[in-house]
Homo-oligomer: A and B are copies of this chain.
Amino acid sequence: MTTRPLRADARRNIDAILEAATATLARDPDASVNDIARAAGVGRVTLYGHFENRAALVSAVVERAMADVDAVLQALDLSGDPAAALVRLVDATWAVTLRYGALVVAAERSLPAAEVAAAHGAPRERAQWLIDRGRAEGRFRTDLPASWLVTSLHTVTHAAANSVYDGELATDAAAHAIAATMLGLLTPPGEVVPDVAALTAH
């Protein structure tokens, strides 16, 4: 079945809706379809003309976001010193989190668990892989479950996003704070906590 080409204004509206939905849901995961349509400068009926469901819309938004996230993460060099690689990973993850914020929550509420897990999977595995390598080289602590360490990284990043949103933390200060926090968090007991500044020097 060949899909007939969409009219130009339709394409334009679909893009506007996806863009608005991303921004709106990243701020408020409970945003109504109405809110999103209004943010896109489009009638609610038009939105439903392009997306079956609220779920279908969220799904499309998540897919788009994940493509972006994957592109950013794939372009990342995680070789070399594990601690330095972690700082690079954190910086990249931070940029992505700032952009997509609470979108995860929106996904969790209207998408089947399997789909959410799939979206979460890739970034988590990437972090896990780096942590495993750091552990193997004796740079990261091995006295706690690796999955817990990954969860901590993830959680701290989101906490930083909230802090920025609440005005407690400046956007640029946040990146440094997250990296520093995570290095401390990963350092094995009995070892010295590295300084972020020393790692980012080139």
From B173, B181, B191, A193 is in contact (CB under 8 Å) with: B191
A141 beta carbon closer than 8 Å to chain B: yes
B193 contacts A189, CB within 8 Å? Answer: yes
Residues of B within 8 A of A183 (CB): 189
Residues of B within 8 A of A155 (CB): 155-156, 158-159
CB distance from A5 to the nearest CB of B (A): 43
A185 contacts B181, CB within 8 Å? Answer: yes
From B143, B151, B184, A185 is in contact (CB under 8 Å) with: B184
A144 beta carbon closer than 8 Å to chain B: yes
Q: 0/1 per residue, A87-101, Cβ < 8 Å to B?
A: 000000000000000
Closest to A198 in B: B189
Chain A interface mostly: helix
The answer for the CA separation of A177 and B145 in the assembled complex, in Å, is 8
A32 beta carbon closer than 8 Å to chain B: no
* Contact flag A194-B184 (CB < 8 Å), given A148-B177, A169-B148: no
CB distance from A197 to the nearest CB of B (A): 9
B159 contacts A147, CB within 8 Å? Answer: no
Residues of B within 8 A of A192 (CB): 190-193
B187 contacts A187, CB within 8 Å? Answer: yes
Residues of B within 8 A of A189 (CB): 180, 183-184, 193-196
B151 contacts A168, CB within 8 Å? Answer: yes
A200 beta carbon closer than 8 Å to chain B: no
The answer for the CA separation of A145 and B143 in the assembled complex, in Å, is 28
Closest to A170 in B: B145
Q: Rank and list the top 3 A-B pairs by shortest CB-CB distance, nearest first.
A: A155-B159, A189-B195, A185-B185
Q: 20 interchain pairs (CB within 8 A)?
A: A141-B184, A141-B193, A144-B177, A144-B180, A145-B173, A147-B168, A148-B168, A151-B163, A152-B159, A154-B159, A155-B155, A155-B158, A155-B159, A184-B184, A184-B189, A185-B185, A189-B194, A189-B195, A190-B193, A193-B193
